[in-house]
Amino acid sequence: MAGNRWTYRAIVATCLALLGAQVTTARAADSWQPRRPVEIVVPSAAGGGLDLVGRTLQSVLEQQKLSSKPITVVNRPGGGGTVGLAYINSHQGDGDYVSVQALPLITNRITGQSTLGLDDVTPLAVLVTEQVVFSAPEDSPVKSGQDLLQMIKKNPSAVSFAVSSSPGGQSHDAAALVVKAAGVDPTKLKMVFFDSGGEAVTSLMGGHVTVAATPAGVVLGPSEAKRVRLIAIAGGHREQGALADVPTWKEQGVDVDFTTWRVLVGPKGMTPAEVAWWDNALQKATSSPQWAAAVKRNLWTADYRNSAATRVFLQNERTRLTPLLGELGLAKK
C-alpha cells in the first residue's frame, strides 16, 4: 500500500512538473511577439522542395492566425543554402527572420562549400522528412533502377544526374550512395546541380540529363502528367499513396536507406522568448488539419520536433554525415 502511495505521488509530481513546464513555455511565448512582417526565407528557387515547405508553413500559420504580423516567403537561392543563411544572419538575434533548410545546412561545411553552418543558426524545428525519388524521362530507355545501374556500370561518365542544391546535399548524397552501393565510384558520374528540385525536373523533361534525384513533392505532377517515370526511392521501405508503385533501391538489389529532412532555423543569437514563441506557433501549426492535409498531399512524413529536440537532432546528423561524406569522397581534404 505504501509503495502504491509513493507511485501515486511520483505520478502527480511528474504531471505537475510537465504542467509547469508548459505554463512556463506559454508565458515565455507570450512575452515576445513578431515586431514586423515575418520572413520565411527559402534558400532555393521557387518550385522546389524547400519552397513548397516554406509556402505551406506560411499558409498554415496564417490560416491558424498564429502571428499578429503578416508572413511572407522570400526566395534567396544560391550557394546551396548559404545565401539564405547569410541573409537571416544579417538580422542576427531577430526572430522575425527564419529559414527553411535541408542537409546543406550541415554538409556545406563538411564539403568546404561554405563557412556558414549549424553553429551559425538557432535551430527551431524539424518539420518533415521526405523521400528522394529517382526519375527518368518517360521516353527514356531507362525503365527501372536496374536499367540505370547497367548504364552506369557500362559507362559511368556518360550518365548525367540532375540534383538539387549543392555538392554533398540530399540529392547528391542519395545518388552517390546508390552508385557506391552498386560498386561504382560515385566521383565518375556527371552531376549537374540546380538551385531547386523543380529546376532539376525541368531539365530532365527537356532531355538535358539522363536521370534526376529530387524530393518527392516536385516530381509528382510531372509523373502524373506522364512526362517522367519514377524508377526508385532511396528510403528503406515502400511508401503509400502516390508512391506505392515505386520500388525502393533495396528491392532492386542496392542496399541504400536514405531520406532527407526539412528544418526551420532562425539567425544566431535569438532570445529564449523568441524561441518559445516559435515553439508554440510551430507546435500548433504542425498539429493542424491543414498541415496534416499538406503532409499527405506532398508525400511528406510528419516528424515535428521542437527547438530543443531539433538542436540535438542536427548535432547527431552532423556526427552521422561527416564520415559518410568522407567515404563518398565529398568531404573537404
DSSP 175-189: HHHHHHHTTS-GGGS
DSSP 238-264: --SGGGTTSPBTGGGT-----EEEEEE
Q: What does the angle CA 307 – CA 308 – CA 311 come to, to the nearest 5 degrees?
A: 85
pLDDT band for 333, please (50, 70, 90 cuts): confident
The per-residue pLDDT of the chain, averaged, comes to: 90
The set of cell numbers assigned to 109 is: 561545411
- Say if CB 212 and CB 161 are below 8 A apart: yes
Q: Measured between alpha carbons, how far is 108 from 80 in angstroms, rounded to an integer? A: 7
Average pLDDT rounded to a whole number, residues 274-298? 97
- Cα 47 vs. chain centroid, distance in angstroms? 14
pLDDT digits (tens, 9 = 90+) for 74-132: 999 988 889 999 999 999 999 999 999 999 999 999 999 899 999 999 999 999 999 99
Q: What does the angle CA 299 – CA 301 – CA 303 come to, to the nearest 5 degrees?
A: 155
pLDDT at 16 over 70: no
Rounded to two decimals, what is the model's pTM?
Answer: 0.82
pLDDT digits (tens, 9 = 90+) for 142-169: 999 999 999 999 998 899 999 987 788 8
AA identity, residue 272: P
Q: Is 119 exposed, middle or buried (0-12, 13-18, 19+ CB in 10 A)?
A: exposed
- If we measure between CA atoms, which residue out of 128, 120, 137 comes closest to residue 212? 137
- DSSP H or E stretch at residue 282: helix 272-286
pLDDT band for 282, please (50, 70, 90 cuts): very high
Q: Measured between alpha carbons, how far is 248 from 239 in angstroms, rounded to an integer? A: 9
pLDDT at 21 over 80: no
Which domains, from first to last, does the chain contain? Answer: 29-129+261-327 (3.40.190.150), 131-259 (3.40.190.10)
pLDDT for 255: 93
- Say if CB 183 and CB 253 are below 8 A apart: no
